[in-house]
Amino acid sequence: MSLGLYLSVPFCRTKCSYCNFASDVFSRAIFQRYVERVCSDIENAGETFAQMGAKFEPTLDSVYLGGGTPTLLDVAGLERLFVTISQNLFVRSAAEITVECAPGTLSDAMVECFVRCGVNRISLGVQSFVDREAATVGRLHTRAKVLEDISRLRAAGISNLNLDLIAGLPHQEAASWDFSLNEAIASGVPHVSIYMLEVDEDSRLGRELIAGGTRYHAHAVPDDELTADLYLAACEGLQKAAIEQYEISNFARPGQESSHNLKYWTRQPYLGFGVDAHSMLPAADPELDAFRFATPETLEEYVAGAAPRKTEVSRRSALEETFFLGLRLNRGVNLAEVEEKFGEEAVAAVSPVITELLDAGLLGRTDDSIRLTSRGRLLSNEVFERFIFSDLGEQSCALPAV
């Protein structure tokens, strides 16, 4: 089975107040050392993963550069990454190759680099088409710059574009959200991602909201009810525009779904290199399902050469993941397929939970498939928690061997 490849580039021009990723503002002096470390990891990947007990197939059908802002690297750095990939791994001719970009960071030389390196998909972190909303959370672009970048990318032959929007930003109202949504639709892009603002201690805005303060415009953040309404409005508006929801946060025109991200939700194998990057590969040991690997979360540890952390994925854990990852997709989880892979006992173990969630209106069922309802998507974390086996009783632990 072909792999997906994710490269983390954790460098930013500014740190957005809502961001809870392992990215930050760093001196350019470290950029070259970082690229060298990533390239070294790619070159040694086969040996590294084999020594750690994983099966490694060096064929890729998707590549994704995320961050951070990958376009903060210079052209030479980006080309070095792509050349290292092509020299050490086999990239299929039809592979989806995506780069995340902050609007306003795309020089002509960078766009030309994308074309030379085979990049065929760009994800733009717009977050809001309302300039005031974007500025309050630290975004440096304007609506006009976003539209200019879209035009320039299309002129270069890259038309497979995604736009990220966030529901729940400070000062956001129904009218301003409709404006952003309508701008995204009018742009004609084939893919839109809609995220609801996350409130946790891993971002400056989240910490301020939890503390009840006013810094970072925390006092102007919409309440949970309005944020949920904005999300539902996006689902409805995008559907009317034939940009159909296929995952909790992702919407696409037919045939334009992100093949790379689908690997995560359908538990296909993937590689990850760079700060706070993750991999999942099949285990050589038949008693295990897979291994997950996680690189260090800090730039200093990663550049210093710290080894990735390995976690065994048992068959029980694989079953849990099958439900809480698969239910993110609108098509849901096919119980007949689960039974075929994990046995009748596995489905029997979760049947009471499924019935409970069906009765609560959080799941719907068609034939052998279960899926989240509209309400279930808003309460998805609560639904996913019900499929953690510690809540299902001892019978769920007894999975048959295959």
CATH no., domain 315-402: 1.10.10.920
Domain 3-263 and domain 315-402 have a common topology: no
3-263 fold: TIM Barrel (3.20.20)
* 3-state DSSP assignment of residue 358: helix
In this prediction the pTM is 0.93
Domain ranges of the chain: 3-263, 315-402
**CA-angle at 320, arms to 328 and 268, nearest 5°:** 65
- Output the pLDDT for position 391: 46
Q: From CA 56, how far away is CA 70, in angstroms rounded?
A: 26
Buried b (16+ CB within 10 A) or exposed e, 207-246: bbbeeeeeebbbeebbeeebbbbbbebbbebbeebebbbb
Residue carrying structure tokens 């710059």: 145
Specify the amino acid at residue 82: F
Buried b (16+ CB within 10 A) or exposed e, 57-70: ebebbbbbbbbbbb
Each residue's pLDDT tens digit in the chain (402 positions)? Answer: 899 999 999 999 899 999 988 788 888 889 999 999 999 999 999 999 999 999 998 999 999 999 899 999 999 999 999 999 999 999 999 999 999 999 999 999 999 999 999 999 999 999 999 999 999 999 999 999 999 999 999 999 999 999 999 999 999 999 999 999 999 999 999 999 999 998 888 899 999 999 999 999 999 999 999 999 999 999 999 999 999 999 999 999 999 999 999 999 999 999 999 999 999 999 999 999 999 999 999 999 999 999 999 999 999 999 999 999 999 999 999 999 999 999 999 999 999 999 999 999 999 999 999 999 999 999 999 999 999 865 444 333 333 332
Q: From CA 37, how far away is CA 125, in angstroms rounded?
A: 26
Q: At what angle are helices 335-342 and 315-326 packed, to 10 degrees?
A: 170
Q: From CA 162, how far away is CA 177, in angstroms rounded?
A: 18
- Output the pLDDT for position 389: 67
